[in-house]
Chain A
Amino acid sequence: MTVQQAATRGPAARAAVPVPPGARGPLSRAVVETLTGGPPGPSDALGAVASADPYGEDLQLALHTCFELHYRGFAGVDPDREWDPDLLRLRGAMEAVFLDALRRDADLRDPSDVDGALDELLVEPVDGHGVTHHLQDEGERWHLLEHAAHRSVYHLKEADPHAWVVPRLRGRAKTALVAVQHDEFGGGRPEMIHQGLYADLLDDLGLDASYGGYVDAAPAVTLATVNMMSMFGLRRSLRGALVGHFAAAEITTAPSARRMARALERLGGGPRALRFYTEHIEADAVHEQVLRYDVIGGLLADEPDLAPDVVLGIRATNLLEDRLAGHLLGCWRADRTSLRRPLPGTVGR
């Protein structure tokens, strides 16, 4: 998405509402044209969903655009489009295709073994070579900047997708999840809201801090990680998956946040960029315990039948994050940009 105002820094950029993105195929074109008052397209597009690539650029952008109506919407688009029956029907069909793909491709060999799925995440490879290892040890500054742009699609609305699950929980699970969310939203201090800390990071690195500023540049492999959260968050039937996803994310972030802090130190990030990651090292060491014992534990005590959904949330997160990691490292090793268009002045050679 491009943003209406030219400002990419400061409060104006952060408050700006994005404009609809550029289409990447028939599905996303139908969605965008519906939003912008073009000829009614969703009904025609419905027939194209079944044959669409579940991980492809078109379907993922179309989904992302539909979901965005539930977050901040788009400049010049009627907010009530959020409940447009044709768009909801199209979105439902696309979600079904995406969800089928996640169920097919995620590792669900032990579909009810929540502890086993979590335990796998609780080991640290001594010779890891993931994205954060790469950035910590040998990545170039333009890799770091591209990483920040990819991640901005989520972090500028960090914790928002998980807020939708709150009314779907009760008792211990609800209390614990809200306590974690309270941290994510700044613990009562607006200057500490994680979304804002990420905007500070983008500012510090000289990047566009406006909400949705890098959606047009973000490939489907990035949008899919965010669409998964939105889908799990918006569907009450997938509350177990949302909780599993949240736990998987919190468990894996403390060690990677430390590596990102080192990467920023090595590659010239300033204190406002570092703050985002140093805050997360200790915070997420706490959050992972709360998610595991109280949120997942509480949810499964209430609703033991949701165990397979919790596992799906964990495994689908692994799947999509592995795909993104493969994409980023593959592009950077080949000296190619990992974005749909390179950042100005930072192109890989």
Chain B
Amino acid sequence: MYFMKNKKLLYLLLLIVLWQIISMIVDQPQLMPDSISIFQKFWEEMINGKLWLYAFYSFAAIIIGLSISIILSLAIALLSIKYTWSMDFFKFLNSILHPLPGIAVLPVLIIWFGVGYSSIFALIIHSVLWPILTNLFSAIETFPKTLSKVGDNYEMGILKKFIFIYIPGTMPSFIAGIKTGWARAFRAVISAEMFFGIIGSSGGIGWYLVKKRAFLDTSGIFAGLIVIILIGMFLESFIFDRIEKLTLEKWGFKI
């Protein structure tokens, strides 16, 4: 009965069993370690190998980069509501830079900022800013004029109108932009970490994977992948879903 209600859990169990069977048939642990040893490794690495610390470094870098991007995108949006030239200019910039994959700009960023967190943050900002702006711009262009006029009627300045009318009014597009941006940032960060190796005193989850591959520790690689999946699921199902429930669904933007 419980499994009927939680289909996802059922599928997960099925996947683990399937993996176990295939790995037993293949019978080459260095190519395909069995489920049990992957979970053992995961547990061991979490406790002794400081896997959680690697994960924390990557996660923290994304959160900081994401926050900077959100502040930047809001500042650009405010400027673009007030001045049409700003909207035109940033739309043009967006059309050039949005298609550029994060990892492709990494060599330039390294020359500009060196190997370190500055480059990582620049990379995250590049990955996140454009998707958010794309969404924000289309939301601003289709924003109900009547709502903006209501703000004028109550003598609100541009800043007040932005905070109390435009930000909540463009929330659906804003959240969609952050979701796309975060997924892009995650990919970019892990690639960059594989590229950089150790930054400061430790490396992120990308560096962890590179190290495990070098020692041909296949179970270790899978343990790292599990962590990446867990971080993704945590953000998607807990953070974003919760924000959407508290805003969009409550306001009837999404039913």
Question: Does B associate with A?
Answer: no
